[in-house]
Amino acid sequence: MTAKILVSACLLGRPVRYDGAAKPLEHPLLQRWHEEGRLVVICPEIAGGFSVPRPPAEIAAAGSGEDVLSGASRVVDRTGADVTAAFLAGAYAALELAQSEGCRFALLIDGSPSCGSTAIYDGSFDGTKQAGAGVTAALLRTHGVEVYAPAQIARLEARLQQAG
């Protein structure tokens, strides 16, 4: 069976980021996977109930997506509002979609408090990044989905070659 890949909507050019922008990845592998019918698209934050535009959000106090899932940290937006519940709702919507579509892999935008998989911002809103994953990426990994950042697209291709 052709392995399917859960993909961040903004990575495919959809203008769903907090500032109304997209973050399209122009890459021949992505085009090929699209033509092969492998891509399953979601924006976890839109699925969690956010609209565009929205205030930027970060996981508080240098926490991680895993911390948010365990209740040890929360997600706050730039106005100080606690938006943890919506981030969790979006993460579980992404997991549900991944499971219903049989996605064992995900290619998600890095740096996001939802989709980040190698780096996220540290909660200070001053542009400082730290190693770690966002809430959706962390939840997907907990359930066995392999999550890759755009910079790791070649590694994902290698895994797909193994998986078929």
Which residues of the shown chain bind ligand SF4 in the complex (CB under 6 A)?
8-10, 16-17, 43-45, 109, 112, 114-115
Both tokens assigned to 106 = 């995900």
Residue 159 CB, nearest distance to ligand SF4 (Å)? 21
**What is the smallest separation between the CB atom of 1 and ligand SF4, expressed in angstroms?**
25
CB-wise, 98 or 163, nearer to ligand SF4? 98
Distance CA(6)–CA(103), nearest Å, equals 6
What is the helix, strand, coil percentage profile of the chain, to 5?
A: 40, 20, 40
- Do the beta carbons of residue 49 and residue 83 sit within 8 Å? no
Rounded least distance, CB 35 to ligand SF4, Å: 21
Task: Please answer whether residues 85 and 135 qualify as being in contact, where contact means their C-beta atoms are separated by less than 8 angstroms.
Answer: no
| Pick 17 or 74: Cβ nearer ligand SF4 | 17
The answer to whether the CB of 78 falls within 8 A of the CB of 149 is: no
Which one, 22 or 62, has the nearer CB to ligand SF4? 22
Q: How far is the CB of 99 from ligand SF4 (least distance, A)?
A: 18
- 82 versus 158: smaller Cβ distance to ligand SF4: 82
